[in-house]
Amino acid sequence: MKNTYFFTLTLVLIVVCRISMKGTPPLIEEYLLLILLAIASYYDLKYKIIPDTLIIVSVICSILFGLLNIDTFLSHRLLSGLVVLGIMTMIYFLTKGNIGFGDVKLIATTALFLGLWRSFLMLLIATFFCGLFGLILLATKRVSRKSSLAFAPFILIATIITVFYQ
């Protein structure tokens, strides 16, 4: 039941953003990214894992779109993904695994689609919303400080905001 609410909220957010946005419409690859992130969010919420198969499919799709898109060079996509992967891997080890490595791979894969600066913006927005949500849950005593939150849904929400308003 909780997942139904999440996906309904996601679809409503996509429709509202699509109706209210200004400028050029998002590309098909950005819609594909949102679908892949929605699937990752489902797995993260339900099983607390992001399947490697989903990451591999996302990387392959990004590379194919990079080969087909004349506006974005494939090397820029790969460099963005590698830089973000390196930074997130350092954060993973510095926090002693408090952020899941599936989230690290998912954020790096998202960087392949978004590029370097938009992925930093997405990460900032996702961290803000996750922290805010965590504080609300702590204040209402629904979770303890030792509890973990699925981060993929916040990556999805932040990517929607970044794609439609950037």
pLDDT by residue (tens digit) across 98-114?
899 999 999 999 999 99
Q: How far apart are CA 37 and CA 159, in angstroms?
A: 9
d(CA 117, CA 12): 26
Domain boundaries, the chain: 30-165
Instruction: Report which DSSP code applies to 106.
Output: H
Q: Are 165 and 17 in contact (CB under 8 A)?
A: yes
pLDDT at 40: 94
Give how far Cα 146 sits from Cα of 88, 120, 149, 150, Å.
21, 27, 10, 13
Range list of H helices, 21-51:
28-47
- pLDDT score for 1: 44
Closest listed residue to residue 110, CA positions, set 46, 66, 155, 60? 155
Which residue intervals of the chain are DSSP H helices?
2-20, 28-47, 52-68, 74-94, 101-114, 116-139, 152-165
As a whole number of angstroms, the distance between CA 110 and CA 43 comes to: 16
Provide the pLDDT for residue 100: 92
What pLDDT, on a 0 to 100 scale, did the predictor assign at position 17?
57
- Distance between CA atoms of 119 and 98, rounded to whole angstroms? 20
- In tens digits, what is the pLDDT along the chain, a chain of 166 residues? 455 566 566 656 655 555 555 444 457 788 889 889 999 999 999 999 999 999 998 998 888 877 776 566 778 888 999 999 999 999 999 998 889 999 999 999 999 999 999 999 999 999 999 999 999 999 999 988 888 899 999 999 999 999 887 6
